Amino acid sequence: MATGRTHRPATRSRGIPEATVARLPLYLRALTALSERSVPTVSSEELAAAAGVNSAKLRKDFSYLGSYGTRGVGYDVEYLVYQISRELGLTQDWPVVIVGIGNLGAALANYGGFASRGFRVAALIDADPGMAGKPVAGIPVQHTDELEKIIQDDGVSIGVIATPAGAAQQVCDRLVAAGVTSILNFAPTVLNVPEGVDVRKVDLSIELQILAFHEQRKAGEEAAADAVAPPAVARKQPHVGPSADSTGSADKGPDGDVPAVMPA
């Protein structure tokens, strides 16, 4: 996925694989739950099960962080929580702005897990003047005109876009111009960003389409199994699958304008 390319300084190890980074939050969540239950140590097997991965993968992942376990014993829960939090940058405070306070934006603003891990909703921003001042999740909505000021005053580096697709690129441009360097995009559009800016996208419609693909394949397989051969073999393995990927810029063509409001 992504990008990359960056030269790669070759030697010197501090390069944690992207796939590993994407799993750290999962481990952290499982560890936090254990911590709340005052469990002092955990084996790779147990923790892996709680996080929904296999234990070899988990151990390999931790080995990139430096390997904080004890052979014959397992991992110290509190210590691991700390190390992973630090690695993810969660020991510091990340002010976040949410732009587009419709149904989704409001849901995000109300989302608890948000504040819980180092993220703080610094502002809610919407283009509708009628929204201005209205509190959502206890935070008054501010008008888009204030966007640049808010970002600069609060030192916001992470922005969440929850606007209709048609407005997303424009909002993105303003966020970036004002200093935001990481964007979480919920609008169903490819965003164009300059290098150095990270974009991750969350797209309901894409997730459903992927599910539909597999769903269809299941149906086909059944039919095939019925009609063709007698495969007494197991069909699937346990695993729960992760998801989400990312994406980023690209060009946008001549006009770049996206159809209407919320296309597929």
* Residues 34-93 contacting DNA, CB under 7 A: 43-45, 53-57, 59-60, 62-63, 67-75
Contacted entry of a copy of itself, DNA, none for residue 210, CB cut-off 5 to 8 Å set by kind: a copy of itself
> Helix axis angle, 44-51 relative to 18-36, nearest 10°?
100
Contacted entry of DNA, a copy of itself, none for residue 75, CB cut-off 5 to 8 Å set by kind: DNA
Considering only residues 46, 146, 154, 173, which one is a binding residue for a copy of itself as defined by CB under 8 A? 46
Does the annotation place 191 within a ligand binding site?
Answer: no
Task: Compose the 10-39 pattern: x for residues touching DNA by CB under 7 A, - for all others.
Answer: -------xxxx-------------------
How many chain residues are in contact with DNA, going by CB under 7 A? 30
Residues 209 to 228: which contact DNA by CB under 7 A?
A: none
Cβ at position 145, least distance to a copy of itself in Å: 25
Contacted entry of a copy of itself, DNA, none for residue 155, CB cut-off 5 to 8 Å set by kind: none
Does the annotation place 102 within a ligand binding site?
Answer: yes
Considering only residues 56, 63, 73, 110, which one is a binding residue for a copy of itself as defined by CB under 8 A? 110
- The annotated binding site for NAD(+) is made up of 100-105
Positions touching DNA (CB under 7 A) are 1, 3-5, 8, 17-20, 43-45, 53-57, 59-60, 62-63, 67-75
